[in-house]
Amino acid sequence: MENIKLPRLPKLYSEGNILEHFKLLGKEMNKKYDSYLMKAYEMKNIPKMPKKWAFSEGWVKYDLNNNSPIKVDYPDGDFLIFDVEVCVKDGRLPTLAVALSDTNWYSWCSERLIKDTPIPDYPKVEHLVPLESKNGDSKEKIIIGHNVSYDRSRVREQYYDKASKTGFWDTMSMAIAMYSVSDSQTTFYDKKDYNIAIHSEHSWLEKWKENVTKYNLKDLYNFLIPLDDKDYINIEKDIRNLFVTGEIQQIRNEFQSLVQYCASDVLATLHIYKKMYKEFMYRFPSEITRYGMIKMANVYLPINHYWSSFEKYCDDEYKKIISKLGDDIINFIQQLIYELKDNYDKDPWMFDCDWSLDKNKNLPKWFLSCLSNLKENNLDNMDIKLKSNELPKVFGVCYGVYPVHFLKNYGWGYLKPIKEHEKLPKKLVTFDTINIPEKEIISLIEINRSKGFKENEENKKPVGKIDSFIFYRLPHQTNNGANVGNIFSKSFQPLFENKILIPTRGAEIANNIVDNLIKTMYWVNFQKRFKDELPIWKNDNCDNGIIAPSIVPAGTITRRSTHKLWLTVSSAKKDVIGSNLKSLVQAPKGYKIVGADVDSQEQWLAAIMGDSIRKNKCIGDSLFSYLVLMGNKNEGTDLHSVVAKESGISRNIAKVLNYARLYGSGPSHAASVLIKHNVPENEAKLLAKKTFETTKGKFFLPWYKNTRDKSELDTLIEANERIFVKIGDNVNSEYAQNTVKAEFIKYAKTSLINDVPKSEIKYLKLLLKTIDNNCFKKTRHKLYYGGIESDTFNFLNLILDESELRTPILNCKLGNGFHPRPKYSVGSIKFLNFFKRSITNWVIQSSAVDFLHMLLLNMEWLCQKYNIDARFCISIHDEVRYLVKDEDIYRAALALNLSNLMVRAAISQILGICQIPSTTAFFSQVDIDTILRKEVNETVICSDNLKIESGVALTYNEVYEKANGRLYNIIK
């Protein structure tokens, strides 16, 4: 750091203590929001709900004494409980809304609802719900709602050029962080109580289900509020369906009932908020966490005319590809029907298809099952179902030399002849005998062998027996051992490319199916999500607009933010329709998008956690940390390259395994990843084991020194102290290998055998037995030595012994869904073993969320302090982006770099390491660009074929020079 130039740093809230600075900064920046959240919690006298709601355009306030309606511009009050409803058939604009303050009820109606005005082609701010004064004098207030980001997207001030000071607080995010279940746990949550087999296998299930819930408003309310509560609300969701299925006139007809429903949701939201508030504050005590959750929801994405033309462009490209492919498939099928009509029963694939003719169409029924719609007698090329189970049969697909076959309850597999005298497993399913063309299949296999088709190694268990063939499942690409439902899919493309799956007829068309599915699947998956967004335009020309997407600030148990579109989009890929969607976010004239990826964020956190339990308390003390900090990809010394070299695998595979292992996956998962990359199963298992020994290390039991009796055994142990390692010291020496229990016993035996007379051999055996039984602590968690990442995994495993599992950064507590059961409670060990991977994953990912919240806080502070015109744009996992005025871009880039430095310094201090190396102090680069994209040089072609110019990526030194080494602006 000595040669690094630093600007004059601002005065910290606590001089000389970066950690204390963040604590005090969090309190200061969130002071008003926290006071309003507290005020909402302490609200005792809830205003009486109106019996009749005003059918009137705009906002109406209901008098506290007699509920008479009073026209107002917006609801006043420091906090509001708020809910918006939308007539879905009309589009995405708000139809009505209800708000509650500590003094009054309010209702809002759209102009269209009251006056039946036309649905606007280009929605503007006047079509949205106002929550602030018209003079733009924005002041801090808090809006509380359940999934409040949905409501925020329909609030007028969120689209103004100047950022509003209104904060949105999400009760759904509160519930997700504390009580929700993960996707992998949903099956357990939905299991019925009477399923005795499930409950006997998972003895923890009953108690666990008492402490978790789904997070929709109705389920959450019933989870938190007892039926006998005097203010209990019976939430009826049936009437809500009118907003989804009804026309606007039906909503007018049922106006009173629908506003009453909306108001009931508001009241229910207040009830659950008050019920969760104290518990949430206990579990998430840091003001930084609350500030981060409010900030994460305030996403602001500028767009222009390319947004409005994007949908048509993608739809046209999609239809062009599918139309041509559909024509080719239909023509090939018709040709195949003609060729096989008299001997289909001899075909190795088509023998079990339904060849009976449809009475109306005069076509085989299996052919009709390939079509989504058949109008009269016309075959429409757009109707071909590319995921039809008949298509792999049509194109004669083989897995290596063997023909593929589909079984209803087992998915896709392949048929392999039973060898003479072959010993079959006893518990092998015998399927019904069918008229299988045995001779033709064996002939096909021989022909395939003669063509040099690969004969894939058999290490998987067979599923069953069909006549003289064994049926094996095809290897699932993401879930080893699961059924394969579709061969023509993105996940199976590598198998087609590597000639493992081979179409033996119509090969060009079959390969086109896979290629074109990849080209079109992105748009198929994202098309509805794109159309669900609400762009708000500044004029009818669509020159400039804004999207304020409904980001859920804590949408998972790990507290990561979620959004079905913006937080799942990938980088642009050549020839993949719609994959450049992210780049539709484009800065208006006079602004740039400035941001950075937090370099190896989760790896850095994991590495420094490992350093923190070592004796020296130095950064880079563990090998994992050293490789993360000092490794160089170009020199082959980075973590992925080292693991690849040590394990004998490619760097790309090593990278996949490294991240998977960091999130708690075991050798079996590693083996399945290798199998997906075409490594034979036996070799994959050996490689996985070797990789884990290289990285995680070997398992050992720590010495149970504190409770052993003082005896002759003590003398032996103390004389040979070097042969074991205490957790936390992690002594690096040639003797560290002797920490394994079996090796310790062997060492003790060989070192004593020569010194003990034959008459004392009995005593020696007794002594060794005593060592074996009493001297090693049997911990609940495995501990490791000798691997690159041993220290990190020891940290993660030791933290599991805490009575409350919290992030080491901001002290955030793990939710009930994954939190380990109390020690010695029924099923506690089973629960921990079952979900350990997810729990360790949470420690890393939730700590990364802490990092992000701290970064957003510090960046906002610096921008305010130095009048840097930078508005938070979006955070996509480990990247942050700001919309910055042109004259401030370099100061914003400098503030971003300094925020990274300060956050990493604070986290290091929390973990007891008062060092920060230059390699991680600053971002490797800060991007300054006109559009949103992963890399500034990523090729982006617009729908009018305009190529967007590359942005610039600046190192810290370049940023420093361009900012003239200062955060302050001389002009201002």
In terms of domains, do 92 and 241 share one? yes
Residues 62 and 94 in one domain: yes
Whether residue 382 is found in the same domain as residue 504: yes
Domain stops at, among 472, 493, 518: 518
pLDDT tens per residue across span 136-151: 667 999 999 999 999 9
**Cβ count within 10 A of residue 564:** 15
- Is residue 338 helix, strand or coil? helix
- pLDDT higher than threshold 70 for residue 744: no
Strand 697-700 to strand 783-786: parallel, antiparallel, or no bridges (unpaired)?
A: antiparallel
- In this predicted structure, what is the pLDDT of residue 481? 77
Give which of 205, 210, 88, 200 is closest to 150, Cα–Cα: 88
The answer to whether residue 744 is domain-embedded is: yes
Classify residue 325 by its DSSP letter: H
Tens digits of residue pLDDT in 863-886 = 999 999 999 999 998 899 999 999
81 forms beta bridges with: 100, 144
| Residues 115 and 261 reside in one and the same domain | yes
User: Considering the entire predicted model, what is its pTM?
Assistant: 0.88
At 210-267, the pLDDT tens digits run 999 999 999 999 999 999 999 999 988 788 899 999 999 999 999 999 999 999 999 9
148 in a domain, yes or no? Answer: yes
> pLDDT tens digit string along 905-937?
999 999 999 888 888 899 999 999 999 999 999
In 697-749 the beta strands, taken as DSSP E runs, fall at 697-700
Q: Which residues of 238-252 are buried (b: 16+ CB within 10 A; e: fewer)?
A: eeeebbeebebeebb
73 in any annotated domain:
yes
Q: Which comes out higher in pLDDT, residue 913 or 375?
A: 913
SS (H, E, C) 457-508: CCCCCCCEEECCEEEEECCCCCCCCCCECCCCCHHHHHHHHCCCEEECCCHH
Q: Which of residues 462, 494, 518 is at a domain's end?
A: 518
In the sheet that holds 535-537, the strands lie side by side as 301-303, 545-547, 535-537
Do 337 and 444 reside in the same domain of the chain?
yes
Based on the domain organization, do 734 and 656 belong to the same domain?
no
Is the pLDDT assigned to residue 382 strictly greater than 90?
no
Total Cβ atoms within 10 A of residue 972:
10
Q: Dig out the tokens for 131 from the structure.
A: 């929550």
- Cα dihedral 446/452/455/456 (nearest 10): -150
* Residues 683 and 739 occupy one common structural domain: no
CA distance 457 to 461: 12
Region 668-697: what's the mean pLDDT?
79
* Cβ atoms within 10 Å of 447's Cβ, excluding its own: 12
More confident: 563 or 463: 563
Q: Which residues contact 843 (CB under 8 A, 6 or more apart)?
A: 796, 799, 805, 807, 808
- Domain housing 272: 43-179+231-283
Task: Please give the structure tokens belonging to residue 141.
Answer: 């207030």
Q: How far apart are CA 179 and CA 174, in angstroms?
A: 8
Q: Of 470, 501, 518, which one is at a domain's C-terminal end?
A: 518
Residues 411 and 454 placed together within one structural domain of the fold? yes
764 domain-assigned: yes
72 three-class SS? strand
Strands, E assignment, 790-948 = 870-876, 879-885, 926-929
Q: Is it the case that residue 35 has pLDDT exceeding 50?
A: yes
Q: What's the CA gap between 761 and 579, in Å, rounded? A: 74
Model pLDDT, residue 570: 85
Type of residue at 798: L
Q: Are residues 450 and 482 in the same domain?
A: yes
| Orientation angle between helical segments 255-283 and 31-41, nearest 10 degrees | 120
Paired with 699 in beta bridges are 784
pLDDT at 328: 95
What rounded mean pLDDT belongs to the chain? Answer: 87
Q: State the pLDDT confidence band at 713, using cuts at 50, 70 and 90.
A: very low
Question: Does any domain span residue 15?
Answer: no
Q: Which of 243-257, 272-286, 819-833 has the lowest mean pLDDT?
A: 819-833
When divided into structural domains, the chain yields a total of 4
Angle subtended by helix axes 790-799 and 623-630, to nearest 10: 120
Q: 114 and 242, same structural domain?
A: yes
Q: CA 158 to CA 550: how far, in whole Å?
A: 12
Domain CATH for 154: 3.30.420.390
Closest Cα to residue 72, out of 127, 145, 129, 125?
129
Pair of tokens at residue 886: 């042109």
Same domain flag for 669 and 743: no
pLDDT of amino acid 748: 58
Answer yes or no: do 680 and 716 share one domain: no
Over residues 115-127, the pLDDT tens digits come to 999 999 999 999 9
Assigned token pair, 685: 């298992």
792 is a domain residue: no
Q: Please state the rounded mean pLDDT for residues 471-484.
A: 84
In a domain, 788, yes or no: no
In terms of pLDDT, which residue wins out, 695 or 724?
695
